[in-house]
Amino acid sequence: MMKDDTPTDLESFYLEDFIPYRLAVITKAVSTAFSKTYAERFDITIPQWRVMAAIGREPNCSASSIVKYTVLDKVQVSRAVSGLIEMGHVERRSDEKDRRNSVLSFTEQGRGVYEQIVPAGRAFEERLMAVMSSQDIDELDRLLDKLMAQAKEL
């Protein structure tokens, strides 16, 4: 404490009140809760689900586009893709436009898994957001957009 008993910035810092920490905690909690929707049933991990979501959004995409879309690092994407290939959910083939690159797409089996997870994900999102009004959700979307834009500027 300082001489007048006013706490310094260091003494009044509480991790549980620190917004970056709170965002990380809620992200982990939500991601883990949602993973229960698909982990046991389909035996896929969180990074594997994110790779599948990226392929579902952009079929015949590259691993580098998945890195950008999912905010996973190259190693995480590589491991997730390898696991999905081993499970028979994803296939890799040469890019017809540039033979040095490869593209990733669903197998028929992988497409079937994706088509089951997406509706389950929508249902999970609905249950998660049930504590909020539509105005709350609009405001949250607006605030998250502002935070994302600011984070990119920093």
**Residue 57 maps to which CATH number?**
1.10.10.10
Gyration radius of the chain's alpha carbons: 20
Q: Would you state the pLDDT for residue 85?
A: 97
- Residue 106, in any domain of the structure: yes
Domain of residue 100, residue span: 46-153
Tracing tokens 């995409």 back to the chain, one arrives at 61
Domain-located, residue 1: no
| pLDDT band at residue 97 using 50, 70 and 90 as cut-offs | confident
What total of structural domains would you count in the chain? 1
Does 12 fall in a domain?
A: no
Rounded CA separation 146/139 (Å): 11
pLDDT reading at 128 higher than 90: yes
Under 8 Å between Cβ of 15 and 41: no
Q: What is the pLDDT of residues 10-38, one digit of tens each?
A: 778 999 999 999 999 999 999 999 999 89
- pTM of structure: 0.84
pLDDT bucket at 7, cuts 50 / 70 / 90: low
Q: CA-to-CA distance for 48 and 120, rounded, in angstroms? A: 16
**Cα gap 135→40, rounded to integer Å:** 34
51 within domain boundaries: yes
Q: Mean pLDDT over residues 111-129, rounded?
A: 96
Question: What is the model's pLDDT at position 100?
Answer: 75
Does a structural domain hold residue 15?
no
